[in-house]
Structure 1
Amino acid sequence: MPTANEASRSGVFLVVGLGNPGIEYQFTPHNAGFLAVDRIAERYSATVANRRCRALTAKIQIAGREVILAKPETFMNLSGLSVAALAEEFGVDPLRDMLVLYDELAFPMGTFRVKERGSAAGHNGAKSINGSIRSEDWARIRIGVGSDGSPASAFRRGKDYLLAPLRKADLAALDEVLDRVAQAVEVTVGQGIATAMNEFNRRDNGPAE
Protein backbone atom coordinates (compact mmCIF):
# COMPACT_ATOMS: atom_id res chain seq x y z
CA MET A 1 0.00 0.00 0.00
CA PRO A 2 1.36 3.46 -0.82
CA THR A 3 2.68 5.81 1.82
CA ALA A 4 1.05 9.17 2.51
CA ASN A 5 3.40 10.85 0.04
CA GLU A 6 2.53 8.34 -2.66
CA ALA A 7 -1.22 8.33 -2.03
CA SER A 8 -3.49 9.47 -4.80
CA ARG A 9 -5.07 12.88 -4.41
CA SER A 10 -7.52 12.52 -7.28
CA GLY A 11 -10.49 10.32 -8.06
CA VAL A 12 -13.10 8.97 -5.68
CA PHE A 13 -12.30 7.92 -2.11
CA LEU A 14 -14.54 5.29 -0.48
CA VAL A 15 -15.30 5.40 3.27
CA VAL A 16 -17.26 2.36 4.46
CA GLY A 17 -18.75 1.83 7.91
CA LEU A 18 -19.65 -1.72 8.91
CA GLY A 19 -22.73 -2.75 10.84
CA ASN A 20 -26.07 -4.50 10.61
CA PRO A 21 -29.17 -2.90 9.03
CA GLY A 22 -32.36 -2.58 11.06
CA ILE A 23 -33.53 -0.29 13.82
CA GLU A 24 -32.97 -3.01 16.42
CA TYR A 25 -29.21 -2.89 15.75
CA GLN A 26 -28.81 0.87 15.39
CA PHE A 27 -27.19 1.61 18.75
CA THR A 28 -25.38 -1.68 19.36
CA PRO A 29 -21.59 -2.03 19.69
CA HIS A 30 -21.37 -3.95 16.39
CA ASN A 31 -22.76 -0.88 14.60
CA ALA A 32 -19.95 1.48 15.61
CA GLY A 33 -18.91 1.72 11.95
CA PHE A 34 -22.40 2.78 10.86
CA LEU A 35 -22.51 5.37 13.63
CA ALA A 36 -19.11 6.73 12.57
CA VAL A 37 -20.25 7.16 8.96
CA ASP A 38 -23.40 8.91 10.15
CA ARG A 39 -21.26 11.27 12.25
CA ILE A 40 -19.11 12.14 9.23
CA ALA A 41 -22.23 12.75 7.14
CA GLU A 42 -23.63 15.00 9.85
CA ARG A 43 -20.47 17.12 9.81
CA TYR A 44 -21.01 17.71 6.08
CA SER A 45 -24.80 18.16 6.23
CA ALA A 46 -25.33 14.95 4.24
CA THR A 47 -27.69 12.01 4.70
CA VAL A 48 -26.58 8.45 3.98
CA ALA A 49 -29.73 7.36 2.18
CA ASN A 50 -29.02 6.64 -1.50
CA ARG A 51 -29.21 2.92 -2.30
CA ARG A 52 -26.36 1.66 -4.47
CA CYS A 53 -24.50 -1.65 -4.58
CA ARG A 54 -26.48 -3.10 -1.65
CA ALA A 55 -25.53 -0.16 0.53
CA LEU A 56 -26.82 3.19 1.73
CA THR A 57 -24.55 5.92 0.40
CA ALA A 58 -23.91 9.65 0.38
CA LYS A 59 -21.49 11.84 -1.58
CA ILE A 60 -19.45 14.56 0.13
CA GLN A 61 -16.25 16.54 -0.44
CA ILE A 62 -13.29 16.27 1.93
CA ALA A 63 -10.16 18.34 1.27
CA GLY A 64 -11.39 18.98 -2.27
CA ARG A 65 -11.85 15.29 -2.99
CA GLU A 66 -15.05 13.41 -3.79
CA VAL A 67 -15.83 10.92 -1.02
CA ILE A 68 -18.48 8.22 -1.04
CA LEU A 69 -19.79 7.32 2.41
CA ALA A 70 -21.34 3.87 2.54
CA LYS A 71 -23.15 1.57 4.96
CA PRO A 72 -23.61 -1.94 3.51
CA GLU A 73 -27.09 -3.41 3.93
CA THR A 74 -25.87 -6.98 3.52
CA PHE A 75 -25.44 -7.67 7.24
CA MET A 76 -22.00 -7.82 8.77
CA ASN A 77 -20.77 -11.20 7.57
CA LEU A 78 -21.47 -10.34 3.91
CA SER A 79 -20.10 -6.79 3.97
CA GLY A 80 -17.44 -7.60 1.41
CA LEU A 81 -20.02 -8.20 -1.32
CA SER A 82 -21.18 -4.61 -1.06
CA VAL A 83 -17.67 -3.20 -0.64
CA ALA A 84 -16.40 -4.95 -3.77
CA ALA A 85 -19.43 -3.77 -5.76
CA LEU A 86 -18.98 -0.18 -4.54
CA ALA A 87 -15.29 -0.19 -5.46
CA GLU A 88 -16.13 -1.40 -8.96
CA GLU A 89 -19.04 1.02 -9.38
CA PHE A 90 -16.98 4.09 -8.45
CA GLY A 91 -13.66 2.98 -9.94
CA VAL A 92 -11.94 2.84 -6.54
CA ASP A 93 -8.81 0.82 -5.85
CA PRO A 94 -9.67 -0.60 -2.40
CA LEU A 95 -5.99 -1.03 -1.57
CA ARG A 96 -5.30 2.64 -2.22
CA ASP A 97 -8.41 4.80 -1.89
CA MET A 98 -10.63 3.08 0.67
CA LEU A 99 -11.02 3.32 4.44
CA VAL A 100 -13.20 0.96 6.47
CA LEU A 101 -14.56 1.78 9.93
CA TYR A 102 -15.66 -0.98 12.30
CA ASP A 103 -15.96 -2.06 15.92
CA GLU A 104 -13.14 -3.73 17.80
CA LEU A 105 -13.95 -5.77 20.92
CA ALA A 106 -10.26 -6.05 21.83
CA PHE A 107 -9.99 -2.28 22.37
CA PRO A 108 -11.59 -0.42 25.31
CA MET A 109 -14.68 1.67 24.76
CA GLY A 110 -13.72 5.25 23.87
CA THR A 111 -10.53 4.34 21.96
CA PHE A 112 -9.67 3.72 18.33
CA ARG A 113 -6.74 2.83 16.10
CA VAL A 114 -5.87 3.74 12.52
CA LYS A 115 -4.19 0.92 10.57
CA GLU A 116 -2.76 0.73 7.09
CA ARG A 117 -3.41 -3.00 6.74
CA GLY A 118 -3.89 -6.11 8.87
CA SER A 119 -5.68 -9.37 9.50
CA ALA A 120 -9.39 -9.61 10.26
CA ALA A 121 -8.59 -10.62 13.87
CA GLY A 122 -11.86 -12.52 14.08
CA HIS A 123 -14.10 -9.71 12.84
CA ASN A 124 -16.67 -11.15 10.42
CA GLY A 125 -17.06 -7.95 8.42
CA ALA A 126 -13.31 -7.64 7.92
CA LYS A 127 -13.13 -11.34 6.97
CA SER A 128 -15.78 -10.79 4.33
CA ILE A 129 -13.91 -7.83 2.85
CA ASN A 130 -10.65 -9.79 2.77
CA GLY A 131 -12.39 -12.55 0.85
CA SER A 132 -14.19 -10.26 -1.58
CA ILE A 133 -11.20 -8.13 -2.57
CA ARG A 134 -8.69 -10.95 -1.98
CA SER A 135 -6.36 -8.88 0.15
CA GLU A 136 -5.78 -7.70 3.72
CA ASP A 137 -3.97 -4.59 2.52
CA TRP A 138 -6.78 -2.07 3.00
CA ALA A 139 -6.85 0.82 5.45
CA ARG A 140 -9.11 0.69 8.49
CA ILE A 141 -10.09 2.44 11.69
CA ARG A 142 -11.01 0.05 14.50
CA ILE A 143 -13.32 1.62 17.05
CA GLY A 144 -13.04 0.21 20.57
CA VAL A 145 -16.20 -1.22 22.10
CA GLY A 146 -14.60 -3.58 24.62
CA SER A 147 -13.73 -3.71 28.30
CA ASP A 148 -11.18 -1.46 29.97
CA GLY A 149 -10.42 -4.22 32.46
CA SER A 150 -12.57 -2.89 35.27
CA PRO A 151 -15.22 -5.08 36.95
CA ALA A 152 -17.89 -2.62 35.79
CA SER A 153 -17.05 -3.27 32.15
CA ALA A 154 -16.51 -7.03 32.38
CA PHE A 155 -19.81 -7.67 30.57
CA ARG A 156 -18.37 -6.26 27.34
CA ARG A 157 -17.53 -9.49 25.60
CA GLY A 158 -19.01 -11.88 23.10
CA LYS A 159 -21.70 -11.91 20.46
CA ASP A 160 -24.60 -11.25 22.84
CA TYR A 161 -22.99 -8.00 23.97
CA LEU A 162 -22.12 -6.87 20.44
CA LEU A 163 -25.74 -7.16 19.30
CA ALA A 164 -27.34 -5.71 22.45
CA PRO A 165 -28.26 -2.02 22.86
CA LEU A 166 -25.48 0.07 24.37
CA ARG A 167 -25.85 1.21 27.97
CA LYS A 168 -26.20 4.94 28.50
CA ALA A 169 -22.63 5.43 29.77
CA ASP A 170 -21.14 3.43 26.90
CA LEU A 171 -23.25 5.26 24.34
CA ALA A 172 -21.91 8.54 25.71
CA ALA A 173 -18.31 7.29 25.52
CA LEU A 174 -18.79 6.07 21.96
CA ASP A 175 -20.50 9.31 20.96
CA GLU A 176 -17.48 11.27 22.16
CA VAL A 177 -14.95 9.17 20.25
CA LEU A 178 -16.91 9.37 16.99
CA ASP A 179 -15.86 13.00 16.52
CA ARG A 180 -12.19 12.01 16.74
CA VAL A 181 -12.79 9.13 14.32
CA ALA A 182 -14.36 11.61 11.89
CA GLN A 183 -11.29 13.82 12.20
CA ALA A 184 -9.03 10.83 11.52
CA VAL A 185 -11.02 10.07 8.37
CA GLU A 186 -10.60 13.66 7.19
CA VAL A 187 -6.84 13.50 7.73
CA THR A 188 -6.62 10.14 5.96
CA VAL A 189 -8.46 11.44 2.91
CA GLY A 190 -6.64 14.77 2.81
CA GLN A 191 -3.12 13.83 3.88
CA GLY A 192 -2.81 10.06 3.72
CA ILE A 193 -3.00 7.08 6.06
CA ALA A 194 0.55 7.49 7.42
CA THR A 195 -0.20 11.03 8.60
CA ALA A 196 -3.41 9.88 10.24
CA MET A 197 -1.60 7.05 12.03
CA ASN A 198 1.05 9.42 13.32
CA GLU A 199 -1.50 11.93 14.53
CA PHE A 200 -4.14 9.68 16.05
CA ASN A 201 -2.42 6.48 17.18
CA ARG A 202 -1.32 7.94 20.47
CA ARG A 203 -1.65 6.38 23.88
CA ASP A 204 -4.89 8.20 24.66
CA ASN A 205 -6.56 6.67 21.59
CA GLY A 206 -5.95 3.05 22.46
CA PRO A 207 -3.53 0.14 22.57
CA ALA A 208 -0.30 0.39 20.63
CA GLU A 209 -1.12 -2.65 18.51
Structure 2
Amino acid sequence: MATLLVVGLGNPGPEYQWTPHNAGFLAVDRIAEAAGIPISNRRGRALTARVQVGGREVVLAKPETWMNLSGESVAALLRELDAKPEQDLLVLYDELALPLGTVRVRPGGSSGGHNGAKSINALVGTERWARIRIGVGPDGEIGKGRRGADYLLQPMRRMELNLLGEALDRAAQAVAIVATEGVAAAMNKINPREPLGTDQPKVQQNAQ
Protein backbone atom coordinates (compact mmCIF):
# COMPACT_ATOMS: atom_id res chain seq x y z
CA MET A 1 0.00 0.00 0.00
CA ALA A 2 1.35 3.43 -0.96
CA THR A 3 2.54 5.95 1.61
CA LEU A 4 -0.22 8.24 2.84
CA LEU A 5 0.74 11.92 3.04
CA VAL A 6 -1.10 13.53 5.97
CA VAL A 7 -0.73 17.32 5.98
CA GLY A 8 -1.90 19.64 8.76
CA LEU A 9 -2.35 23.28 7.77
CA GLY A 10 -1.39 26.29 9.85
CA ASN A 11 0.91 29.27 10.11
CA PRO A 12 4.50 28.85 11.36
CA GLY A 13 5.63 30.72 14.47
CA PRO A 14 4.89 30.42 18.20
CA GLU A 15 2.48 33.36 18.14
CA TYR A 16 0.08 31.30 16.00
CA GLN A 17 0.44 27.96 17.79
CA TRP A 18 -2.81 28.05 19.80
CA THR A 19 -4.97 29.96 17.32
CA PRO A 20 -8.01 28.41 15.60
CA HIS A 21 -6.31 28.71 12.20
CA ASN A 22 -3.64 26.25 13.37
CA ALA A 23 -6.04 23.38 14.13
CA GLY A 24 -4.46 21.33 11.35
CA PHE A 25 -0.98 21.72 12.85
CA LEU A 26 -2.31 20.76 16.27
CA ALA A 27 -4.01 17.65 14.86
CA VAL A 28 -0.86 16.23 13.28
CA ASP A 29 1.06 17.15 16.44
CA ARG A 30 -1.45 15.02 18.37
CA ILE A 31 -0.75 12.04 16.09
CA ALA A 32 3.01 12.45 16.40
CA GLU A 33 2.80 12.71 20.19
CA ALA A 34 0.86 9.43 20.31
CA ALA A 35 3.67 7.82 18.32
CA GLY A 36 6.32 9.36 20.56
CA ILE A 37 8.20 11.14 17.76
CA PRO A 38 8.84 14.79 16.86
CA ILE A 39 7.83 16.33 13.55
CA SER A 40 11.29 17.68 12.85
CA ASN A 41 12.63 16.44 9.50
CA ARG A 42 12.73 19.06 6.74
CA ARG A 43 11.55 18.13 3.25
CA GLY A 44 9.27 19.69 0.66
CA ARG A 45 9.22 23.04 2.51
CA ALA A 46 7.67 21.29 5.52
CA LEU A 47 8.50 19.70 8.85
CA THR A 48 7.81 15.97 8.57
CA ALA A 49 7.84 12.65 10.43
CA ARG A 50 7.14 9.03 9.48
CA VAL A 51 4.77 6.83 11.48
CA GLN A 52 2.97 3.52 11.00
CA VAL A 53 -0.82 3.50 11.19
CA GLY A 54 -2.37 0.05 11.13
CA GLY A 55 0.59 -1.23 9.15
CA ARG A 56 0.50 1.59 6.58
CA GLU A 57 3.35 4.06 6.30
CA VAL A 58 2.23 7.63 6.90
CA VAL A 59 4.22 10.83 6.41
CA LEU A 60 3.01 13.62 8.69
CA ALA A 61 3.74 17.13 7.44
CA LYS A 62 3.43 20.72 8.64
CA PRO A 63 4.18 23.20 5.83
CA GLU A 64 6.67 25.93 6.71
CA THR A 65 5.02 28.25 4.21
CA TRP A 66 2.29 30.65 5.25
CA MET A 67 -1.23 29.28 5.16
CA ASN A 68 -2.11 30.87 1.82
CA LEU A 69 0.96 29.22 0.21
CA SER A 70 0.30 25.72 1.59
CA GLY A 71 -0.09 24.29 -1.90
CA GLU A 72 3.58 24.94 -2.66
CA SER A 73 4.65 22.60 0.12
CA VAL A 74 1.97 19.98 -0.58
CA ALA A 75 2.84 19.85 -4.29
CA ALA A 76 6.55 19.49 -3.49
CA LEU A 77 5.88 16.65 -1.03
CA LEU A 78 3.67 14.82 -3.50
CA ARG A 79 6.42 15.00 -6.12
CA GLU A 80 9.07 13.81 -3.67
CA LEU A 81 6.95 10.87 -2.51
CA ASP A 82 5.75 10.11 -6.06
CA ALA A 83 2.23 10.24 -4.61
CA LYS A 84 -1.09 11.07 -6.24
CA PRO A 85 -3.39 13.61 -4.55
CA GLU A 86 -6.53 11.66 -5.42
CA GLN A 87 -5.25 8.52 -3.65
CA ASP A 88 -2.42 9.37 -1.28
CA LEU A 89 -3.17 12.80 0.21
CA LEU A 90 -5.14 13.67 3.35
CA VAL A 91 -5.23 17.27 4.58
CA LEU A 92 -6.43 18.51 7.98
CA TYR A 93 -7.48 22.12 8.42
CA ASP A 94 -9.72 24.47 10.39
CA GLU A 95 -13.25 25.23 9.25
CA LEU A 96 -14.89 28.44 10.47
CA ALA A 97 -18.27 27.37 9.04
CA LEU A 98 -18.42 24.35 11.39
CA PRO A 99 -19.08 24.69 15.14
CA LEU A 100 -16.07 24.42 17.41
CA GLY A 101 -15.34 20.76 18.14
CA THR A 102 -17.00 19.36 15.00
CA VAL A 103 -15.04 17.05 12.68
CA ARG A 104 -16.04 16.27 9.09
CA VAL A 105 -14.33 13.99 6.57
CA ARG A 106 -14.75 14.69 2.85
CA PRO A 107 -13.31 13.01 -0.26
CA GLY A 108 -12.79 16.32 -2.08
CA GLY A 109 -14.46 19.55 -3.07
CA SER A 110 -14.02 23.29 -3.30
CA SER A 111 -11.97 25.32 -0.85
CA GLY A 112 -15.04 26.92 0.73
CA GLY A 113 -13.01 30.12 1.00
CA HIS A 114 -10.22 28.53 3.05
CA ASN A 115 -6.93 30.01 1.80
CA GLY A 116 -4.87 26.89 2.50
CA ALA A 117 -7.30 24.62 0.68
CA LYS A 118 -7.53 27.13 -2.17
CA SER A 119 -3.75 27.09 -2.58
CA ILE A 120 -3.66 23.27 -2.61
CA ASN A 121 -6.42 23.09 -5.24
CA ALA A 122 -4.47 25.49 -7.44
CA LEU A 123 -1.01 23.96 -7.04
CA VAL A 124 -1.88 20.25 -7.24
CA GLY A 125 -4.34 20.86 -10.07
CA THR A 126 -7.36 19.07 -8.62
CA GLU A 127 -9.99 19.34 -5.90
CA ARG A 128 -10.06 15.55 -5.56
CA TRP A 129 -8.02 15.12 -2.40
CA ALA A 130 -9.33 13.86 0.94
CA ARG A 131 -9.69 16.29 3.82
CA ILE A 132 -10.62 16.39 7.48
CA ARG A 133 -12.19 19.71 8.42
CA ILE A 134 -11.93 20.63 12.10
CA GLY A 135 -14.67 22.98 13.23
CA VAL A 136 -13.47 26.13 14.98
CA GLY A 137 -16.54 28.34 14.52
CA PRO A 138 -17.31 30.37 17.65
CA ASP A 139 -20.71 29.59 19.13
CA GLY A 140 -22.86 30.95 21.95
CA GLU A 141 -21.18 32.37 25.05
CA ILE A 142 -17.87 30.75 24.18
CA GLY A 143 -17.59 32.76 20.99
CA LYS A 144 -19.26 35.95 22.17
CA GLY A 145 -17.62 38.94 20.51
CA ARG A 146 -15.23 36.72 18.53
CA ARG A 147 -15.96 36.48 14.83
CA GLY A 148 -14.34 36.14 11.43
CA ALA A 149 -10.73 36.39 10.33
CA ASP A 150 -9.54 38.22 13.44
CA TYR A 151 -10.86 35.39 15.59
CA LEU A 152 -8.93 32.81 13.56
CA LEU A 153 -5.60 34.43 14.43
CA GLN A 154 -6.27 35.09 18.12
CA PRO A 155 -5.06 32.64 20.80
CA MET A 156 -7.92 30.44 21.98
CA ARG A 157 -9.41 30.60 25.46
CA ARG A 158 -9.21 27.67 27.85
CA MET A 159 -12.79 26.53 27.23
CA GLU A 160 -12.25 26.75 23.48
CA LEU A 161 -9.03 24.73 23.75
CA ASN A 162 -10.86 22.03 25.73
CA LEU A 163 -13.47 21.67 22.97
CA LEU A 164 -10.79 21.75 20.30
CA GLY A 165 -8.85 19.04 22.13
CA GLU A 166 -11.79 16.65 21.81
CA ALA A 167 -11.95 17.41 18.09
CA LEU A 168 -8.21 16.80 17.69
CA ASP A 169 -8.60 13.35 19.24
CA ARG A 170 -11.44 12.58 16.84
CA ALA A 171 -9.45 13.91 13.89
CA ALA A 172 -6.57 11.61 14.83
CA GLN A 173 -9.02 8.69 14.88
CA ALA A 174 -10.28 9.76 11.47
CA VAL A 175 -6.73 9.70 10.07
CA ALA A 176 -6.25 6.15 11.38
CA ILE A 177 -9.51 5.02 9.74
CA VAL A 178 -8.63 6.65 6.42
CA ALA A 179 -5.19 4.98 6.49
CA THR A 180 -6.57 1.51 7.12
CA GLU A 181 -10.13 1.42 5.76
CA GLY A 182 -10.40 4.38 3.40
CA VAL A 183 -12.18 7.71 3.22
CA ALA A 184 -15.70 6.30 2.88
CA ALA A 185 -15.34 4.32 6.10
CA ALA A 186 -14.04 7.39 7.92
CA MET A 187 -16.99 9.44 6.69
CA ASN A 188 -19.43 6.80 7.91
CA LYS A 189 -17.85 6.54 11.36
CA ILE A 190 -16.76 10.11 12.03
CA ASN A 191 -19.26 12.44 10.39
CA PRO A 192 -22.37 11.17 12.28
CA ARG A 193 -20.41 11.37 15.58
CA GLU A 194 -21.04 7.71 16.38
CA PRO A 195 -19.16 6.35 19.40
CA LEU A 196 -15.86 4.88 18.28
CA GLY A 197 -14.84 1.53 19.77
CA THR A 198 -11.54 0.71 21.38
CA ASP A 199 -10.54 -1.53 18.45
CA GLN A 200 -9.62 1.38 16.18
CA PRO A 201 -6.20 1.18 14.48
CA LYS A 202 -3.30 2.60 16.45
CA VAL A 203 -0.36 4.77 15.49
CA GLN A 204 2.97 3.05 16.04
CA GLN A 205 6.39 4.59 16.32
CA ASN A 206 8.58 4.30 13.24
CA ALA A 207 12.13 5.30 12.38
CA GLN A 208 12.35 8.75 10.86
* CA distance in 1 between partners of 2:42 and 2:5 (Å): 15
* CA distance in 1 between partners of 2:105 and 2:66 (Å): 23
Corresponding residue for 1:109?
Answer: 100
* CA distance in 1 between partners of 2:127 and 2:177 (Å): 22
Corresponding residue for 2:10?
Answer: 19
1:151-175 deviation per Cα after TM superposition (whole angstroms, max 9, x unaligned): 5424342111101100111011111
Shift of 1:45: 1.1
Gaps in structure 2 of 5+ consecutive residues? 196-208
Contact 1:111–1:204 (CA under 8 A) maintained in structure 2: no
Which letter does structure 1 place at the counterpart of 2:28?
V
Task: Describe how 1:27-42 pairs up with structure 2 within 5 A.
Answer: 27-42=18-33
TM-score computed with the length of structure 2 as normaliser: 0.91
Task: Describe how 1:1-209 pairs up with structure 2 within 5 A.
Answer: 10-148=1-139, 150-202=140-192
Contact 1:36–1:178 (CA under 8 A) maintained in structure 2: yes
Query: Percent identity among equivalent residues?
Result: 62
Which letter does structure 1 place at the counterpart of 2:122?
G
* CA distance in 1 between partners of 2:97 and 2:165 (Å): 18
Which letter does structure 1 place at the counterpart of 2:69?
L
Q: Deviating runs (4+, > 6 A) in structure 1?
A: none
* CA distance in 1 between partners of 2:146 and 2:180 (Å): 34
CA RMSD of aligned residues (A): 1.3
1:103-154 deviation per Cα after TM superposition (whole angstroms, max 9, x unaligned): 0000111111000111100000000000001111110000000023x25424
Gaps in structure 1 of 5+ consecutive residues? 1-9
Contact 1:12–1:91 (CA under 8 A) maintained in structure 2: no
| Matched length | 195
